[in-house]
Amino acid sequence: MKITKARVIVTCPGRNFVTLKIETDEGVHGIGDATLNGREKAVVAYLEDHVIPLLIGRDPARIEDIWQYLYRGAYWRRGPVTMSAIAAVDTALWDIKGKVAGLPVYELLGGASRDGVMVYGHANGNDIAHTVDEVGRYIEMGYKAVRAQCAIPGVKGTYGVAKGTMYYEPADSALPEETVWNTPAYLNFAPELFEALRIAHGPDIELLHDVHHRLTPIEAARLGKALEPYRLFWMEDATPAENQEAFKLIRQHTVTPLAVGEIFNSIHDCRELIQNQLIDYIRTTVVHAGGITHLRRIADLAALYQVRTGSHGATDLSPACMGAALNFDLWVPNFGIQEYMRHTPETDAVFPHAYSFSDGFMHPGDLPGIGVDIDEELAAKYEYDPKQLPIARLQDGTLWNW
């Protein structure tokens, strides 16, 4: 079998998605997500100009060799653009291999390790009462785990303010919106929020929280300690993690479990965090961390240290990524949880898929491959629409971390 053609499809059914479609001389095709939120066109160019010409004529069965060829062969290694492009190729090739074998990708990886994949949803509120209600709504829908984010009183436009409830997109303007960040107000407020959530919803529901890189290590340590009575499933991205050693400081002060890694793209970004047991969950995902082939290496390293997976699953990842991720999750022995922010019906229609949600768990379905396809005719109706994530500034105007 040979790769005869590969194309990049850009569509915006409410938000931008980049998809690579690889076709073969035997009529089998595969797709992979290549969406890099806010920097979509960089991956399109990387694929079209530098990757697709290298694929034509290759045997799509040689997934590992093609991965190594694109990674080592480029001379330039790592980085979100490179790794998202490689991920798209890798995912499409696993999709093809599954279709050729007549098996879903989780069967190729070694078969199911569990019956379903526990997912968490996003509850956002304008104040504590609203957030309590929103978490309640997710519990009613069957969720066993919910991420809770809430606007901080008196701080305008803080992260987590609900612009919509079930569907919202953080990247929502052509030029970045500017928001204000206030660490002391947040640190005072966050424990109050989780106290209210435990009082309202009891001890069993899993609660998660995303700090979005807003704290310094010692502030993160203080927050982790303050949240201990409310038994979080995890505290996510408490501080920027380029400096992996920073997590030592957080770890020394708190037993709140730590999750990090949604913006990592290589095993080297998390190697020290994992080997030094500084985190509990690794959030690298198929599309931004080099595809199934590389994510498997990260998960295997993590397993040695009882670190579990908790892949990023916001809507800036397309259903093609979600299908691949769910196949991965169903297999991976050290699975922890999967994020699941629901795509809009428009997006679901562009990407027909086999995966499903029931009572807090998801299943990738049993279609051969990743179980997701793209309706190209429908995709063509939604033109690319530039959108960026907001930025955060401190009250004195200093640019802060998003």
What is the C-alpha to C-alpha distance for residues 285 and 264, in angstroms, rounded to an integer?
8
What is the binding site for ligand GCO (CB under 6 A)? Answer: 37, 170, 210, 212, 262, 312, 314, 316, 339, 389
The listed partner (Mg ion, ligand GCO, none) that binds 97, CB under 5 to 8 Å by sort, is: none
What is the C-alpha to C-alpha distance for residues 201 and 112, in angstroms, rounded to an integer?
32
3-state secondary structure 209-233: EECCCCCCHHHHHHHHHHHHHHCCC
By beta carbon distance, the residue nearest Mg ion is 210
Using the minimum distance from each CB to Mg ion, give the nearer residue, 247 or 331.
Answer: 247
Binding segment toward Mg ion, per CB under 5 A, in 130-138, 172-180, 206-214, 238-246: 206-214
How many other C-beta atoms are found inside a 10 Å radius of the C-beta of residue 195?
15
Q: For residue 70, which of 40, 92, 97 has the smallest C-alpha distance?
A: 92
By beta carbon distance, the residue nearest ligand GCO is 314
What is the C-alpha to C-alpha distance for residues 223 and 193, in angstroms, rounded to an integer?
12
Using the minimum distance from each CB to ligand GCO, give the nearer residue, 36 or 367.
Answer: 36
Q: What are the CA-CA distances from residue 210 to residues 237, 283, 309 (Å)? A: 6, 12, 16
Q: Does 316 bind Mg ion (CB under 5 A)?
A: no
Active site residue 46: no
Rounded to the nearest whole angstrom, what is the least distance from the CB of residue 208 to ligand GCO in the complex? 9
Residue 322, both tokens: 């979600």
Cβ 296 vs Cβ 322: under 8 Å: no
Sign of the four-CA dihedral 137, 139, 142, 146: positive
The listed partner (ligand GCO, Mg ion, none) that binds 314, CB under 5 to 8 Å by sort, is: ligand GCO
The listed partner (Mg ion, ligand GCO, none) that binds 134, CB under 5 to 8 Å by sort, is: none
What is the residue-wise DSSP string for 7-37?
Answer: EEEEE-SSS-EEEEEEEETTS-EEEEE---T
Using the minimum distance from each CB to Mg ion, give the nearer residue, 259 or 370.
Answer: 259
Q: If you compute the radius of gyration of the chain from its CA atoms, what whole number of angstroms results? A: 20
Using the minimum distance from each CB to Mg ion, give the nearer residue, 47 or 227.
Answer: 227
Active site residue: 159, 186, 230, 340, which one?
Answer: 159
The listed partner (Mg ion, ligand GCO, none) that binds 318, CB under 5 to 8 Å by sort, is: none
The listed partner (ligand GCO, Mg ion, none) that binds 74, CB under 5 to 8 Å by sort, is: none
Active site residue 120: no
Rounded to the nearest whole angstrom, what is the least distance from the CB of residue 279 to Mg ion in the complex? 14
How many other C-beta atoms are found inside a 10 Å radius of the C-beta of residue 252?
10
Active site residue: 29, 122, 212, 343, which one?
Answer: 212
Rounded to the nearest whole angstrom, what is the least distance from the CB of residue 300 to ligand GCO in the complex? 23
Rounded to the nearest whole angstrom, what is the least distance from the CB of residue 159 to ligand GCO in the complex? 8
Rounded to the nearest whole angstrom, what is the least distance from the CB of residue 43 to Mg ion in the complex? 20
The listed partner (Mg ion, ligand GCO, none) that binds 339, CB under 5 to 8 Å by sort, is: ligand GCO
Beta strands in 240-329 (DSSP E): 258-260, 281-282, 308-311
x/- mask, Mg ion, residues 160-199, rule CB under 5 A, reads: ----------------------------------------
What is the C-alpha to C-alpha distance for residues 382 and 350, in angstroms, rounded to an integer?
10
The listed partner (Mg ion, ligand GCO, none) that binds 288, CB under 5 to 8 Å by sort, is: none
CA 118 distance to own-chain centroid: 15
For Mg ion, the binding residues in 247-306 under the rule CB under 5 A are 262
Give the residue, chosen from 210, 219, 280, 329, that forms a contact with Mg ion under the rule CB under 5 A: 210
Q: What are the CA-CA distances from residue 193 to residues 37, 128, 208, 337, 386 (Å)? A: 29, 6, 12, 23, 34
Rounded to the nearest whole angstrom, what is the least distance from the CB of residue 210 to ligand GCO in the complex? 5
Rounded to the nearest whole angstrom, what is the least distance from the CB of residue 19 to ligand GCO in the complex? 17
For 184, which DSSP code?
H
Applying CB under 5 A, the residues found at the interface with Mg ion are 210, 262
Catalytic residues: 159, 212
